[in-house]
Homo-oligomer: A and B are copies of this chain.
Amino acid sequence: MGEEGSVGIVETRYWRFAEPPDRVKLRCGAALGPIDVAYETYGELAPERDNAVLICHALSGDAHVAGMHSPDDPKPGWWDIMIGPGKAIDTERYFVICSNFIGGCKGSTGPSSTNPETGAPYALDFPMVTVSDMVEVQHALVCEHLGLERLLCVIGGSLGGMQVLQWAIDHPGAVYAAMPVASTSRLSAQGIAFDEVGRQAIYSDPDWNGGNYYGGRPPHRGLAVARMVGHITYLSDQSMHEKFGRGLQDEGMLQYDFGPPEFQVESYLRHQGDAFVQRFDANSYLYITKAMDYFDLPSDYGSLIQAFRGVRSRFLVISYTADWLFPTYQSREIVRALHANGVRVSFCELESSYGHDAFLLRNPAMEKLMRDFLANCQVDIRRAGSHAPGKR
């Protein structure tokens, strides 16, 4: 493998579809349209059209997964460590696609978008979206707009991994391989509880105003608290101990007051909260956490084994030792149910002290796994493709 590099300067593009009356019917029963989809692509689509890799992002992610938006961009896309020339998801071999899911606030249609019926932001008139709705919109982007029949691989961590599972179930012919990372087939009671605390923090902020704050003061205090509690769940007892311990901001001096943060971990959390509210919409936070809460493959299909009945993709399932939000046992449930359906699945629990956030951090073992899995998939899809009678 060559030197690792950046995909360089990239641009977010937009596609609009589902113009009324051709609105998309959502799982909750409502119809949504028009729908804007923000997406980015890197690398080149092979003439065989068999090298497309779709990345599904998590709660606070967006379409900008790699590269820079400008030469002086302070930081690259959210998974730039994984995606680029020579990287684990090698843009010299694969055509990489990432789109912002609906319900979000990063360019795709969500509660902060204009409701065509009123000319004002949807706010809570935005319909509830589910993981399968997110996947339907991605499917339209990939198939209708980008003209692809099949993805080499769909990859995502956390909520992104939920989308991966839904893709493999809803579009078995369009997903050659699937890689759910640090994910689950249904959010746990504890996961729902943490989401609910975040939502309650937002509801409790008078600036939230029942969701009608656009043009006014957004509920930054509530959203910051939601983000703080979220951040604790993304780390681990061990990683917080290693990163902060009981270190003080003003070394050695306890202040014995309720002023500025005394412990480094308090300062970290406040910073995370303050930074988040500058880049995220509180109503989107509500909608996306609800989509996570609703995700429940065993319930939707009668059992997890039933859910995977029609799956034809091969799988690489990855979990992390210190992830207590989406613990390994939840990945094992996925693996067992795939096995029960005769699906070809590899599983690896990776050592990491970093908790759920581990999938966003450099991890040579994870990178090698992904690199090899994708390379093997590409060899196999081409071997199969060259003999396939229906090949165009």
B residues in contact with A197, CB < 8 Å = 225, 228-229, 232, 269
What residues of chain B lie closer than 8 Å to A206, measured between beta carbons? 206
The CA of A258 and the CA of B124, in the complex, are separated in Å by: 8
Q: Which residues of A200-254 are within 8 A (CB) of B? A: 200-201, 203-206, 211, 221-222, 224-225, 228-229, 232, 235-237, 240-241, 243-246, 254
Contact A237 B192 (CB under 8 A): no
| A286 sits at the interface (CB 8 A) | yes
- Given A189-B241, A245-B189, A273 and B200 touching (CB < 8 A)? yes
Main secondary structure of the interface of A (DSSP, over half): helix
Q: A189-B244, A237-B190, A241-B188 are in contact. Are A265 and B232 (CB under 8 A)?
A: no
User: Is A388 part of the binding interface, using a Cβ–Cβ cutoff of 8 Å?
Assistant: no
- Knowing A221-B204, A229-B229, A258-B286, the reply to whether A193 touches B28 (Cβ < 8 A) is no
Contact of A257 (CB < 8 Å), options: B128, B196, B256, B265: B128
Cross-chain contact B192 with A265 (CB below 8 angstroms): yes
Chain-B contact segment, one of A33-41, A170-178, A292-300: A292-300
Q: Bound state CA distance, A30 and B181, in angstroms?
A: 52
Q: How far is the CA of A228 from the CA of B221 in the complex (A)?
A: 17
User: Given A228-B196, A324-B237, A265–B189 Cβ distance below 8 Å?
Assistant: yes
| Chain B, Cβ-Cβ closest to A237 | B190
A327 within 8 A of B: yes
Within 8 A of B (CB), among A160-199: 186-190, 192-194, 196-197, 199
A228–B198 CA distance with the chains assembled, in angstroms = 10
Instruction: Please state if A246 and B124 are interface contacts (CB–CB under 8 Å).
Output: no
Q: By CB atoms of chain B within 10 A, which of A199, A240, A256 has the most?
A: A256
Q: Please, how many angstroms separate the alpha-carbon atoms of A119 and B188 in the complex?
A: 50
Which A residues lie at the B interface, using CB under 8 A? 28-29, 124, 127-128, 186-190, 192-194, 196-197, 199-201, 203-206, 211, 221-222, 224-225, 228-229, 232, 235-237, 240-241, 243-246, 254, 256-258, 261-263, 265-266, 269-270, 273, 286, 290, 293-294, 296, 299, 324, 327
